[in-house]
Amino acid sequence: MTRLLGGECRGDSHWNKTAMLQGFKSGPVKYSACKGMHIGERHVWLPKHVRSIAFMFVLMGFFFLLDSLMVSIFHSMNLHNSSTSGKSSGIEEDTGTAYEDKQESQVQMYDRLLNLASNALAEKAFKQDSSNFWEEPYRQASVWKPCADRKSPTNPGKSDKNNGFILVSANGGLNQQRVAICNAVVVASLLNATLVLPKFLYSNVWNDPSQFGDIYQEGHFMNILKDEVYIVKELPSHLKSVDMEAIGSLITDADITKEAKPIEYVKKVLPLLLQNGVVHFLGFGNRLGFDPLPFKLQRLRCKCNFHALKFVPKIQQVGSLLIRRIRNY
């Protein structure tokens, strides 16, 4: 019976129906005893494993604490890096701003010094004594006389021989036209020819139809140069209808080199002048050199430029008005 109970309590699988029937009446008692044994074993197991359970809880708490500690460390490191980068960027920005301010201050200082220097030079120039402005500081230079002085004893005068007529059609602006007139006067004297009052070519650039008489005083021009060159207002009637290009008397800039010497005019132009009695310089500009040039020719060119060419009264009035306004300012 004890073996049977022990086998039952141990859960033995060798029970049989006979044993079960015989112990039916005492079965509840046996069952209760077996149940008590199970409860007893459970109560015995719990005290034995309390330490293990506590150790597991402590171990889990340790891991949780370690995880929290690692998270806090990484978070503090990120904050430190971000603050460091912010400081470095702030330092770079401050450095760049300081450099730009320094550059700007240097530019302002340079402009200020430049303005001061310009003002000092201007004040020095305007403070000069106007009464002594035109006085010659060198004693030897005080005896110099203008080379264009028409009373000079070196003036050879004009030749009695007349080789023909010279026409000039000047192009360009006012300055180029003025140079062409002066050169034409010299060439006419060189070739012993009569100069016809120059004409001005119309240019789409300047859009100015003005002629010689609209800009310069014709009578004054002819009177100043009357002792050096023969000058007429127009060609004789028998030459007005002559086709210059057909007879080979049309001379352009391509026929005469720039700043040519007087000998070139003697060789190229004089034969045509003697043959046809007239030559036409078309677009005559800077076609006469300055060096070497005989003194009497250079003197004649200066006399034409500074004495013979005089603006008409209406242009002189406008010029005087501009000068007065500039002086008042």
Phi, psi of 296 (to 5 degrees): -65, -30
- Number of Cβ within 10 Å of residue 293's Cβ equals 16
- Number of Cβ within 10 Å of residue 101's Cβ equals 10
Six-digit token string for 125: 């120039």
**pLDDT at position 202, please?**
85
Is the pLDDT score of 193 beyond 70? yes
124's CB contacts (< 8 A; 6+ apart) are: none
**DSSP states of 169-220:** EE-SSHHHHHHHHHHHHHHHHHTT-EEEPPEE---TTT-----HHHHB-HHH
Six-digit token string for 213: 């008489």
Q: Strand, helix or coil at 311?
A: strand
Q: Which residues sit opposite 200 in a β-bridge?
A: 170
Rounded mean pLDDT, 243-249: 91
Q: pLDDT of 67-109, one tens digit each? A: 777 777 766 666 665 555 555 555 545 555 655 665 666 667 7
Contact 306, 191 (CB under 8 A): no
164: closest CA among 98, 107, 235, 224? 235
Is the pLDDT score of 1 beyond 50? no
Between the alpha carbon of residue 329 and those of residues 44, 320, 322, 323, the distances in Å are 123, 14, 11, 10
Cα 79 from Cα 86, distance rounded (Å): 11
Rounded mean pLDDT, 191-199: 95
Residue with tokens 């001061």, as numbered in its chain: 116
Q: In Å, how far from its chain's centre is CA 311?
A: 40
- Is 31 or 320 the better-scoring residue by pLDDT? 320
**pLDDT at position 205, please?**
81
* Whole-number average pLDDT of the chain: 75
**pLDDT at position 189, please?**
93
172: closest CA among 141, 204, 195, 143? 204
Amino acid at 226: K
Is the pLDDT score of 259 beyond 80? yes
* Helix pair angle (27-126, 2-9), 10° resolution: 20
**DSSP states of 228-291:** T-EEESS--HHHHT--HHHHT-EE-TTTS-TT--HHHHHHHHHHHHHHHSEEEEET--S-S-SS
DSSP 64: H
31's CB contacts (< 8 A; 6+ apart) are: none
